[in-house]
Chain A
């Protein structure tokens, strides 16, 4: 159905659509390059920031937290996933973006300004960087709750064995817990990636709907899903609409690939564990 909606754009622009960075609805010229770049950058940074934090949360909840505290913090972390994206995006727009623009961006520009990624801050705080932070908040609960369950399933006696050999708590994690759950953690991260790739609303609210690829993270940008959300309700021509459907096809393909890979890794992981028993 989505491919059907996109068919006028597919037959007109073909595969060149994917790499073309022109997007000018008034002239009937469309290309997905800019939004593909934006999607890749925001999801990459969201995962880069989010995955380590989420895995640390999973470790804390499964191995460190006292039982009482765990039953409080676990649901709270999952509540983070229950916040509707439109509310998180609105908070990002009103509270986070100005804060990032005034405090974080100047600091990063001062310290790391020699890297083109950290250019001078812009006036509004609506940027690829802010969008990545919002996506980070969205992927953390997914990865954290899956990895917590993975770590809880690591047999206690193997961990105790390592401790008995004199390993410190971190060495137990590094030597036993993480290696035995590595593929599951990768699968969890891919599920988080799928979420980050497909988030439309919150990103549309904070990314600023830029139309060019800029080197700096502090400039505006756009992603596949956010552009559909922003422009579909006001699409001006049939070709405009079909091109947005085309973006949907690309998003669908990327999303399915990351989800199927996650399922596949997860299933192989189950299989390995079944054999190990």
Chain B
């Protein structure tokens, strides 16, 4: 840098190599920002398309009547399947989480954790095949119950993992206080730990419901041959449901069918967006409250 023509009054702007490095860095920043905007943009485009096309299909008849005018039976059926799935998955998921945080140590607990992670990554069509072999082959017919079992398998790891995270936030002095009072372990779980975490447990269950409500692949194998013109309350026969309806209509390729599929998609997406956004907000609030 011992340049003969060194000018102490020259402005302090980067030149040469440094300018190139800075420009590259700025270029990379713009690239990352553009990537984030693109993802949000795609979300916007998809939601926009569903809202625009779906809103025109929507009417009271569409929501409450059976085929061919509406999707009433499908709404009821989806609600039944998801409700039964939740009733199966939530208690087991919460018990697994309680075991992992309060009792489990060592090898068994780490195997259970690994199993939960692997269940979480299982393709849902595989879950569908599994339940098909387990229930439909045995009973020789599709049923809403089989679909509910498949959804329960999908929901279980979500509920368990969410509950574990919340239970880990329960202050340890609560546990120690209960221990010091001579309260037995299971009573401190029932009386102290679960009540203080109930909000977080409920919201992670709601997140699992939002995920399960849109699952299509298992339902296609387990509850897809049904009568869409009437409401069915018997879970031991194939129940009409929204996701397989959208799939069937999209394969049929008729304009009226597409309109109905947009409408059904709009209803499903609205439900999922509201539940998962709501659950996320509640979860964030519970976390910050418990972290204090």
CB within 8 Å of B: which residues of A?
1-2, 4-5, 53-54, 56-57, 59-61, 64-65, 73, 75-80, 82-91, 93-95, 137, 140-141, 144, 168-171, 173, 191, 194-195, 197-201, 204-205, 225, 228-229, 232-233, 245, 248, 251-252, 255-256, 259-260, 262-263
Contacts and interface: CB of A to CB of B under 8 A. Distances in A.
Contact of A89 (B122, B137, B250): B250
Contact of A84 (B47, B53, B214, B258): B214
Interface stretch (B3-11, B67-75, B194-202, B265-273): B265-273
30 contacts: A2-B133, A5-B129, A53-B39, A56-B34, A60-B33, A60-B35, A75-B280, A82-B211, A82-B273, A84-B213, A85-B216, A85-B217, A87-B269, A88-B46, A90-B246, A91-B46, A94-B53, A140-B39, A168-B25, A170-B27, A173-B28, A194-B123, A201-B220, A205-B251, A228-B125, A232-B129, A233-B221, A245-B133, A251-B123, A255-B123
B181 interface: no
B186 interface: no
Contacts of A75: 277, 280
Interface stretch (B80-88, B113-121, B164-172): B113-121
Contact of A82 (B125, B133, B247, B276): B276
A95 B42 CA distance: 12
Contact of B125 (A59, A94, A248): A248
B25 A87 contact: no
A251 B22 contact: no
A151 B36 CA distance: 15
Given A76-B40, A95-B45, A233-B220, 17 more contacts: A56-B34, A57-B39, A77-B39, A79-B276, A83-B46, A84-B214, A84-B272, A87-B46, A87-B265, A91-B46, A91-B50, A94-B53, A94-B258, A168-B21, A201-B247, A252-B122, A255-B126
Nearest to B120: A259
A255 B137 contact: no
A259 B280 CA distance: 26
Contacts of B33: 60, 64
Contacts of B243: 84, 86, 201
Contacts, number: 194
A259 B224 CA distance: 30
A87 B268 contact: yes
B24 interface: yes
Q: What 8 A-B pairs have minimum CB-CB distances, sorted nearest first?
A: A198-B123, A84-B214, A168-B25, A56-B35, A170-B25, A60-B32, A259-B121, A200-B125
Contacts of B129: 2, 5, 228, 232, 245, 248
Contacts of A94: 49, 53, 250, 258
B19 to A, nearest CB: 11
A95 B118 contact: no
Given A1-B130, A60-B35, A83-B269, A229 B125 contact: yes
Given A79-B277, A84-B272, A197-B123, A90 B261 contact: yes
A245 B125 CA distance: 11
B256 to A, nearest CB: 14
A223 to B, nearest CB: 10
Interface of B: 21-22, 24-25, 27-29, 31-36, 38-40, 42-43, 45-47, 49-50, 53, 114, 117-118, 121-126, 129-130, 132-134, 137, 210-211, 213-217, 220-221, 224-225, 243, 246-247, 250-251, 258, 261-262, 265, 268-269, 272-273, 276-277, 280
Nearest to A1: B133
Contacts of A260: 118
A272 B87 CA distance: 40
Nearest to B126: A252
A64 B30 CA distance: 10
A136 to B, nearest CB: 9
Contacts of A200: 123-125, 216-217
A137 B118 CA distance: 22
Nearest to A195: B121
A260 B133 CA distance: 24
B196 to A, nearest CB: 26
B117 A93 contact: no
A241 to B, nearest CB: 9
B240 to A, nearest CB: 15
Contact of A87 (B36, B117, B134, B214): B214
A101 to B, nearest CB: 15
B32 A57 contact: yes
A141, A200, A204 pick with most chain B CB within 10 angstroms: A200
Contacts of B31: 56
Contacts of B40: 73, 76-77
